[in-house]
Chains A and B, each alone.
Chain A
Amino acid sequence: MKRIILITGTRKGIGKNLAEYYLVKGDVVIGCSRGEASITNDDYIHYILDVSNEKAIVGMVRNIKKQFGHIDVLLNNAGIASMNHFLTTPYSTAQNLFNTNFFGTFLVTREVSKIMMKQKTGRIVNYSTVATAFKLEGEAIYAASKAAVENLTQTIAKELAIYGITVNAIGPTPVETDLIKAVPKDKIQSLLGRQAIKRFGVFDDIKNVIDFFIDKKSDFITGQIIYLGGVSN
């Protein structure tokens, strides 16, 4: 049977790449973003929404349930970054970051878990960042929003364990996507220099960890944060 995989933030970057990867593998992928779909495939369904809009998320998840009856995997990929000194970070920027990165993850996970708890199985993967482990200067709010995601991941892993749902998080290193295009080159080089393995991450590195987390055999793996590049917290 085809897996039903929900991935948030599929219009570009890692989310789009992952959606295409799982479509090639023969899964059904449901994606969402604030903009139009950028993927055309019979097994791909796209919702245009903001992940921090509760009503839109509830509606999407109920629709998926009506259409497919179950959800096997949730990848909370949607995220935004902003680099700024703490002292010059506008309040609205901090709110936007938390809305998408934390509240979006919270809302989608809560609604999808309601479906998964009935199935007595489910795999949820959240997204952190090495910036959180590094307490990276210039990324105070972004890293804080992802620290909140990490804590949420580890706490709900306990609350959802009895329903057979695992919740883990991946902490990617910088990958050359839109998310980091505005970051100065020297800043990125210095960041890569702090990793045990000093290179950019690539999509395959991320897929590898996600494949591990969502594997059927990984039912004893939950509440874990895996950073790429040999970074530790």
Chain B
Amino acid sequence: MKEKIESIIISALTELNDEIENKELNNPTLETKLFGGNGVLNSLALVSLITDVESLISDEFDKEIILANEKAMSQKTSPFRSVEALTLYIETLLREQN
């Protein structure tokens, strides 16, 4: 499951980068910083990523998740800080639905 989620995020980032053309996103990896601190996304790009990933997760796993939920917004360390953090966060959300 983890690999699938990671590949969904990477593919969403690659597609997003066609629009925002940020060279830091040319080869996104688990370590790529997304939002906040040294993150490469601004708030609008993050909104776009969230909606893309929600939709791709729904297609792949046939489950509807809302990434920007209360839990995400109240976590001390944001799940949107890196590809790895986002992968783990989505994995948790999907497991909670089982």
Contact = CB atoms under 8 A, between A and B. Distances in A.
A135 to B, nearest CB: 33
Interface string A46-79: 0000000011001100100110000000000000
A112 to B, nearest CB: 11
A55 B55 contact: no
Contact of B64 (A62, A117, A118): A62
A114 B54 CA distance: 10
A33 to B, nearest CB: 21
A54 B66 CA distance: 9
Interface string B12-30: 0000000000000000000
Contacts, number: 18
A59 B44 CA distance: 24
B58 interface: yes
B55 A58 contact: no
B64 A55 contact: yes
A24 interface: no
A58 B55 CA distance: 10
Interface in B30-87: 44, 47-48, 51, 54-55, 58-59, 64, 66
Given A62-B58, A162-B44, A114 B66 contact: no
Contacts of B48: 117
Interface in A60-108: 62, 65-66
B51 A58 contact: no
Interface in A154-202: 162
B55 A59 contact: no
A114 B59 CA distance: 15
A214 to B, nearest CB: 22
A118 B48 CA distance: 8
Contacts of B64: 55, 58-59, 62
Contact of B51 (A55, A66, A114): A114
Contacts of B51: 114, 117-118
A118 B51 CA distance: 9
A59 B66 CA distance: 11
Contacts of A62: 55, 58, 64
18 contacts: A54-B66, A55-B64, A58-B64, A58-B66, A59-B64, A62-B55, A62-B58, A62-B64, A65-B55, A66-B59, A114-B51, A114-B54, A114-B55, A117-B47, A117-B48, A117-B51, A118-B51, A162-B44
Given A58-B64, A114-B54, A117-B47, 15 more contacts: A54-B66, A55-B64, A58-B66, A59-B64, A62-B55, A62-B58, A62-B64, A65-B55, A66-B59, A114-B51, A114-B55, A117-B48, A117-B51, A118-B51, A162-B44
